[in-house]
Each structure stands twice: as structure tokens, then as C-alpha cells.
Amino acid sequence: MRAKTICRAIFNTWISRFECPSVITSDQGSQLRSSMFVEFTRMLGTQKIKTTPYHPISNGIVERFHRHLKSAIKAHEDDKWSELIPIILLGIRTAVKDLQSSCAELLYGTVIRLPCDMIDVSDIPPCDIEFITDLRHRMQQLNPVATSAHCTDRFYIHPSLKSSSHIFLRVDRVQPPLRQPYTGPHKVLCRTITVDINGRKTTVSLDSGGLARLPVCPMASGPPYT
């Protein structure tokens, strides 16, 4: 996929229907770091935020949506999953969440009309009233789950990372045996953390870095006396 394709998709699917977003959050793919995409966001007046690699918690909303989308696709037996995406997305966007509203309602400010609302129900025989009453009673007894953060893991961060000039960076990708788990030391350029990896600025997560203690070079002395 080229950077031109991404820019065109953003413009044709979102900007043409709604407006220019104030913030775009993306990963650190080469297309999203290209000069074309940087100029595209600058032209729109949009702030671009990069997530950290191998760190799904940095973009939890999208990762959770992808997990929901994959589960919905697996629930269908049809092999042509690409044809199922529109109807699956319709169901996800109109599902009422724990905020007591759907994604479509939050976006448009009103409840959208679904295909089932256009079906004439006059020919459908009435259902068992006792069953419906019992079902409603059972549903009212269920306690709604409040919105909360599901990640309870706490990461240990060395206090010296706040002032360290260099760090070691953990390698999260799969490696051959007997490879060193860390690379570096890398110079810290910004405390977010942005480090210099072989001459390229890269934003990494704080918990993936380790403190690097560099040897202090002795001061160069003058030429020896003769």
C-alpha cells in the first residue's frame, strides 16, 4: 500500500463526508512517515500522533475494535469475508455500548434507521406475551458494566530514566536463539521517549527501555612535557 492510497482513502471516506480531523493517530508504518503523508496532514491542519511499536495499549480503542471485528468475521461460515464487512460494520456501529448509546448515535447525534425498521411487521404473528414479560424482567435484573480500563498491569520504570541520556531498547519481535534481547545504547532525544536508532528518530514506549550507564571518558590531557 502506498502513501498516496492512504491519503486518498482518508479524503474520500472521512473528510468528504464530515470534516478535517483535528488529530490523526497512526502507527509508525513507512507510508505514514513519508513526506507525502506529512505534507497531507500539514495541509489539513491536523496533528499527527504516532503510537509506539509492539505496544497495543498505546492505541487501545483501535486494537479493541479490531478484536471485535475479527470475532464477528469468524462467526460467519462464508469464505468471502470481504463481502461480510459492510453488514458487520453496520452491526458494530449501531450496537448500544455501556455509554447507553451507539457509535453511530455519538457521531450523528441521532439514532440511524436500520434495514429491519423498513420491514412491515403487520403480517408477523404476535409472540408469547408471558415470555416477553419474563425476558424483560430478567434483563432488568442485570447490572450494567460501567466503562473502565481493563488493563491492570503495572510496569516498573527505573527512576533514572527521567534524566538518562542513553537507554537500551528491548527487542519485542521474534528473534533467533542466543540473540541479545536489547539494542543500544541509543541516545534519548525526547522524554516521550524518542530515541535515535541508527540515525532515525523513533518513538518507543517507556516500559520497553532500559537504563544505559555509559562509561565516563577521561578528559583529554595536553601533550606530554619533553
* Structure confidence at residue 226 as a pLDDT band (50, 70, 90): very low
Give the residue with greater pLDDT, 54 vs 166: 166
Which residue is associated with the grid cell 471516506?
13
- Please report whether residue 221 resides in a domain: no
Model pTM above 0.75? no
- Please report whether residue 213 resides in a domain: no
What type of residue sits at position 70? K
- Give backbone dihedrals phi and psi of 116, rounded to 5 degrees, phi first: -70, -25
- Please report whether residue 127 resides in a domain: yes
Distance, in Å, from the CA atom of 170 to the CA atom of 181, rounded to the nearest integer, reads 6
**Residue 135 is part of which domain span?**
61-141
For the chain, the domain total comes to: 3
Beta bridge partners of 73: none
CATH assignment of the domain containing 22 = 3.30.420.10
- Please report whether residue 150 resides in a domain: no
Residues 80 and 24 in one domain: no
Distance, in Å, from the CA atom of 211 to the CA atom of 193, rounded to the nearest integer, reads 12
DSSP string, 124-142: SPP--HHHHHHHHHHHHTS
* Structure confidence at residue 156 as a pLDDT band (50, 70, 90): low
- Give backbone dihedrals phi and psi of 112, rounded to 5 degrees, phi first: -80, 155
Give the residue with greater pLDDT, 78 vs 153: 78
3-class DSSP state for residue 26? strand
- Please report whether residue 218 resides in a domain: no
Last residue of a domain, one of 54, 72, 95: 54
- Please report whether residue 210 resides in a domain: no
pLDDT recorded at residue 85: 85
Residues 179 and 129 in one domain: no
**Cβ 49 vs Cβ 23: under 8 Å:** yes
Q: For the residues 175-199, what does the mean pLDDT come to?
A: 78
* Structure confidence at residue 8 as a pLDDT band (50, 70, 90): very high
Distance, in Å, from the CA atom of 145 to the CA atom of 148, rounded to the nearest integer, reads 9
pLDDT recorded at residue 223: 47
Residues 75 and 40 in one domain: no
- Please report whether residue 220 resides in a domain: no
Residues 82 and 134 in one domain: yes
Q: For the residues 118-141, what does the mean pLDDT come to?
A: 62
Residues 65 and 48 in one domain: no
Would the pLDDT of 83 be above 60? yes
Would the pLDDT of 95 be above 80? yes
Residues 77 and 134 in one domain: yes
Residues 114 and 178 in one domain: no
Would the pLDDT of 215 be above 90? no
pLDDT recorded at residue 225: 43
Residues 50 and 65 in one domain: no
- Please report whether residue 129 resides in a domain: yes
Distance, in Å, from the CA atom of 129 to the CA atom of 217, rounded to the nearest integer, reads 85
Pairing, β 166-170 against β 209-211: antiparallel
Residues 70 and 135 in one domain: yes
Last residue of a domain, one of 54, 70, 91: 54
Q: Positive or negative, the Cα torsion across 6, 12, 16, 17?
A: negative
Would the pLDDT of 174 be above 50? yes
Residues 73 and 130 in one domain: yes
| pLDDT tens digits, 18-61 | 889 999 988 888 888 889 999 999 999 999 888 887 777 778 88
